[in-house]
Structure 1
Amino acid sequence: MTRSVRSVHLRFLSFVCAMATTSGSPFAYHVFLSFRGEDTRKTFTDHLYTALVQAGFQTFRDDDSIERGKYLNLELPKAIEQSRISIVVLSENYASSTWCLDELVTILECNRTHGNDVLPVFHDVEPSEVRKREGSFEKAFERYENEVEEEDDHERRMELAKRVVGWKAALRQVAALTGMVLKNQADGHESKFIKKIVNVVGDKVKRTELSVAPHLIGIDLRAGNINSWLRDESNDVGIVAICGIGGIGKTTIAKYLYNLNFERFEGSSFLASVREVSEQPDGLVRLQRQLLSDILKGKKEKIYNADQGIVRIKEALRCRKVLVVLDDVDQVDQLDAVLGMPDWLYSGSKIIITTRRKQLLKASEVDTVHEVARMHRTESLELFSWYAFGQDHPIEGYMDYSKRVVHYCDGLPLALQVLGSSLSGKSIDVWESALEKLEAIPEGEILKKLKISYDSLQDDHDKNLYLDIACFFVGKDKDWTITILDGCGFFTKIGIHNLIDRCLLRVGQRDNKLWMPHLIQDMGREIVRLESTKEPGKRSRLWQKEAFNVLREKTVRIIYLMSTSMVLVGICLN
């Protein structure tokens, strides 16, 4: 690289770090490794890199983290900016590389402007040698200063002189930082020294946990058994399915369990919104790439189709104990494409699936199906109060209204959060009006989440069966209902089975009656209401008050038409 190009490179590096303060881009790597390749690439740095990766840290080094064909001077500053911490391996010939010195300037600039951490590691050199530029460092700078004097072009000479001054300042600065010195630690044994470095990095860089909603009321009770299963030290490969209706807290439980346990595994990945992503163009391939990137600590794999992705995933997972969470899975083919067959997973690996379908997997393929229980009244009131009042109980004068909302929400955390937030800070009059509206028209944001289960039903047969049960048969005997609906042309037994699978319906074990959560039943009736909001007579189904009103209106209309006709007949006769 020519000096002029290096100058452009240096200015570009500084520009990127300056932009980092405003870009707000997330960290892509935990660690960036800066080192003199001729000194340590195949020895110390290679061992350090391997140890960091095995410890679960996404680590960048220039020989395998940059795709072929990419320009180093464009990719390296980006990698430095997106790394939580840079480890600078200062070895005997580090200063003989102008590339390393430019890189060091950039690392320290990002530390100053963006707060990226820096850990100097002194490999067979002392901090004083670096700070005072003694030994090999002195020889390297004698050569640079001679180059300045020998440069004939005035502009280039001034530019190089400025760079040399910057390199000297960077070495003084990095030598003054708290670092690790091989000669002074672990009796000079590199393996022990590397372990200490990894521990220091672990303290500085905590692998990012997933964001979980606050106020996890009752989470330990609902997640306890699965947590014990995750911490089981047996070598059995296991799969657990967490199922339930939308908004019941499946994803929250999965995130909570992931955060508690991902560091116990050699690799981990949380694939969010599998159903939604898989429906997008190349969605399955995107999920495969994310899974591989997570397991391989940020290493990017080129995947062009789902079949190729399965082969790569099999290669990556068959030799690692991993924790994988697939959130919101709706079809078996999504599992097959993203994860493949579980029988080739490495011993001790654990898979968690969240789904609205109870029987997504065969009984032989899953350890247990955990159906998320609704929140109890006391839990519901506490969760609602946090969102409505910012404390664990209602404020004075709002207890009765709060209990009415809790009853309406029927133990669904999503409903409690949405309604608590919407009613927060409102007057009693607004609360009364909101409750009256809820009894007539369910809250739209909640129904939008719940309606996913309805939309995912296989065909119109099951959708119509759901609507009929929601409107007419909740609380009725299952066998009696089957007799009635079979007579109406339904295949009721298989339809009820499909509704139970989607967590839209339950059958009482003791009384054999059909049961739906209030919001699920309200959703069905709201779907019917929206068929014609102004003219109930045009809806496909009517029940109770609506049916009476329509019949009364039609009766009045018939009487009116008959009386009008009689008057006209009389006029004609006269």
Structure 2
Amino acid sequence: MTSSSSSSTYFDIFLSSAEDTGKGLASHLYRSLYLRGIPTYLRDAKLEERPSSSLVYDARKYIQGSKFAVVVVSQSYPTSVWCLEELQILLNFHDQGRLYVLPIFYEVSFSDIRSQTGAVAEPFRKLGETYPDKVQAWRIALIKLTDIPGLDLHHLSEVDVVLNRVLLYKSEAIYPRETKGVGLLGLDRHMKALYQLLDLKNSTEEVRLIGIWGPGGVGKTTLARFAYDDLYNNFHTHVFVDKAENIYYQDLEKPRSEETLTSGGGIRSVSTGMIKSTVGHRKGLLVIDCVDNLEQLKAVAEILSWCGSGSRVILITQDKNLLTQFGVQHVYEVKSLRYDDALQLFSQSAFERQNPPTSFESLSLRAVQVASFLPLTLTILGSSLRNKNEEEWEKELQKLEGDRENTIMEIMKKSYTREDENDQIPSFILP
């Protein structure tokens, strides 16, 4: 199974696990990735018989050629000298921003690993007696690992949860994420207001519910995604559900049906049980987009009961009344862009510059009016007009000018049709 015999040191995924998971979760995940053609490294347990200096060299060689590391933490992980040595190398690359690390706490308590208590206390203490010069560095590494958002798994059948998360990364649906660009233009003031509602510094105990509302295409999801990307490291776990309608009820104790995958690796539907296993009463950041009826909010109410102290749950909707009926006290309205921001956003999309060329100024002003100052429609319309001449612009704008609502729908179709054909937009982003 191991990829260590390969002459190449390049792997997309580096799997780190103790011997007991080498024949279980890690090997199952390895096979699933292999069948999807994703180069993955998994060390054979028998390699631990080699000199430690040779093992460290191998680990560094394979880790530095990888993009992503999955650390399967079982009860025996913190008692394996090799795993702990390997972990320090992984975290060093992670701290340098050269590797993304996903911890999986498999059939072991998150708090036990962090503080070396419970079932791992005595074995770790004995290990420390054997390696007194290394035990402190290992303690620090385990604490740092638990600071990284990860997953809690209790059953081997849940390997698909990990697989889907890795596939999302592989398809670049999550990493790397753009943190700057035209999507943020004009939203700085919105983000400042949203952060005040999130109140991360002064409200550490409560589970706070925040609502974001406004018309379609105004930038609600863009605002939430940038906040999500910026803040998720402050939480133990994080989840982004693109469509509230795709959340369905399922008891974790019952057999779990497979989630529906897109060709790009995203999940089209997700069970409440899956979210429960991800959140696990830990401090989490949850974003649920496209909330449009009270029935969906019933699922949200159940999810809230699983959130740990300090969690933040953001609901995104076009209907302010839904937030009022659900009792959301912290609500922010996203309004259309101001004129100068709208023109700049459109110009960047149409001409890849901050201001339109002189010959296109009047046409650009008309286009901004046609798009009703909405960021998404401005971006789509600008992209559709890029590299076209003035005559083509005039023809397109004349066709769109008229009924505002139908115009926006027509512009949006240019994007949605393309998305449906590619089927690459995930509706559930795992931590």
- TM-score (normalised: structure 2): 0.58
- Alignment partner for residue 344 of structure 2, among 354, 369, 382? 382
Cα distance change, pair 268–213 in 1 and its aligned pair in 2 (3 A): same
Q: Does 1:94 align with 2:49?
A: yes
Q: In structure 2, the residue corresponding to 1:391 is in which secondary structure?
A: coil
> Deviations along 1:514-559, whole A, 9 cap, x unmatched?
xxxxxxxxxxxxxxxxxxxxxxxxxxxxxxxxxxxxxxxxxxxxxx
**1:256 aligned partner:** 226
CA positional deviation for 1:433: 2.1
> Deviations along 1:186-224, whole A, 9 cap, x unmatched?
962424335247769999x99846456831111111121
Unaligned runs of 5+ residues in structure 1 are: 1-8, 22-26, 42-60, 128-181, 293-300, 452-574
**Equivalent residue letter for 2:352:** G
> Deviations along 1:481-504, whole A, 9 cap, x unmatched?
xxxxxxxxxxxxxxxxxxxxxxxx
> Deviations along 1:87-109, whole A, 9 cap, x unmatched?
89998x5349xxxx9xx999978
Cα distance change, pair 253–13 in 1 and its aligned pair in 2 (3 A): farther
Judge conservation of contact 2:15–2:26 (CA < 8 Å) in 1: no
Cα distance change, pair 109–123 in 1 and its aligned pair in 2 (3 A): closer
**1:224 aligned partner:** 192
- Alignment partner for residue 62 of structure 1, among 22, 30, 42? 22
Cα distance in 2 between the residues matched to 1:73 and 1:222? 43
> Deviations along 1:307-332, whole A, 9 cap, x unmatched?
x9546755764530110001112222
**1:455 aligned partner:** none
**2:153 aligned partner:** none
**Equivalent residue letter for 1:374:** S
**1:420 aligned partner:** 382
Judge conservation of contact 1:284–1:338 (CA < 8 Å) in 2: no
Judge conservation of contact 1:210–1:255 (CA < 8 Å) in 2: no
Judge conservation of contact 2:287–2:315 (CA < 8 Å) in 1: yes
**1:32 aligned partner:** 15
Judge conservation of contact 1:14–1:109 (CA < 8 Å) in 2: no
**2:210 aligned partner:** 240
Cα distance change, pair 260–424 in 1 and its aligned pair in 2 (3 A): same
CA positional deviation for 1:350: 0.5
Judge conservation of contact 1:387–1:421 (CA < 8 Å) in 2: yes
Judge conservation of contact 1:89–1:123 (CA < 8 Å) in 2: no
Q: Does 1:303 align with 2:256?
A: yes
Give the % identical residues. Answer: 26
Judge conservation of contact 2:179–2:229 (CA < 8 Å) in 1: no
Aligned residue runs from structure 1 range 279-294, under 5 A: 284=248
> Deviations along 1:171-199, whole A, 9 cap, x unmatched?
xxxxxxxxxxx99xx96242433524776
Cα distance in 2 between the residues matched to 1:379 and 1:345? 38
**Equivalent residue letter for 1:224:** K
Q: RMSD over aligned Cα, in angstroms?
A: 5.1
Cα distance change, pair 260–433 in 1 and its aligned pair in 2 (3 A): same
**2:302 aligned partner:** 340
Cα distance in 2 between the residues matched to 1:89 and 1:237? 42
CA positional deviation for 1:429: 1.9
Unaligned runs of 5+ residues in structure 2 are: 72-77, 86-126, 151-168, 260-269, 417-431
Cα distance in 2 between the residues matched to 1:311 and 1:76? 24
Cα distance in 2 between the residues matched to 1:88 and 1:384? 54
Cα distance change, pair 106–199 in 1 and its aligned pair in 2 (3 A): closer
**2:367 aligned partner:** 405
Q: In structure 2, the residue corresponding to 1:345 is in which secondary structure?
A: coil
Q: In structure 2, the residue corresponding to 1:392 is in which secondary structure?
A: coil
Judge conservation of contact 1:387–1:417 (CA < 8 Å) in 2: yes
**2:158 aligned partner:** none
- Higher-RCO chain (CA-CA 8 Å, sequence separation at least 6): 2
Cα distance in 2 between the residues matched to 1:305 and 1:107? 36
Cα distance in 1 between the residues matched to 2:373 and 2:237? 35
CA positional deviation for 1:229: 3.3
**Equivalent residue letter for 2:186:** G
Cα distance in 2 between the residues matched to 1:406 and 1:258? 29
Q: Single out whichever of 190-199 and 429-438 deviates more from structure 2.
A: 190-199
Cα distance change, pair 267–242 in 1 and its aligned pair in 2 (3 A): same
Question: Of Structure 1 and Structure 2, which has the larger fraction of its residues in helix?
Answer: 1
Judge conservation of contact 1:274–1:328 (CA < 8 Å) in 2: yes
Aligned residue runs from structure 1 range 456-467, under 5 A: none
Q: Does 1:188 align with 2:133?
A: yes
Cα distance in 2 between the residues matched to 1:364 and 1:273? 18
**Equivalent residue letter for 1:256:** F
Judge conservation of contact 1:107–1:118 (CA < 8 Å) in 2: no
Q: Single out whichever of 327-336 and 339-348 deviates more from structure 2.
A: 339-348
Cα distance in 2 between the residues matched to 1:368 and 1:124? 48
Q: Does 1:446 align with 2:411?
A: yes
- TM-score (normalised: structure 1): 0.45
Q: In structure 2, the residue corresponding to 1:218 is in which secondary structure?
A: coil
Q: In structure 1, the residue corresponding to 2:345 is in which secondary structure?
A: helix
- Alignment partner for residue 181 of structure 2, among 214, 239, 261? 214
Cα distance in 2 between the residues matched to 1:311 and 1:117? 26
Cα distance in 2 between the residues matched to 1:310 and 1:11? 36
Judge conservation of contact 2:212–2:220 (CA < 8 Å) in 1: yes
**Equivalent residue letter for 1:33:** S
**2:429 aligned partner:** none
**Equivalent residue letter for 2:411:** I
Cα distance change, pair 248–212 in 1 and its aligned pair in 2 (3 A): farther
Cα distance change, pair 310–415 in 1 and its aligned pair in 2 (3 A): closer
Number of paired residues? 322
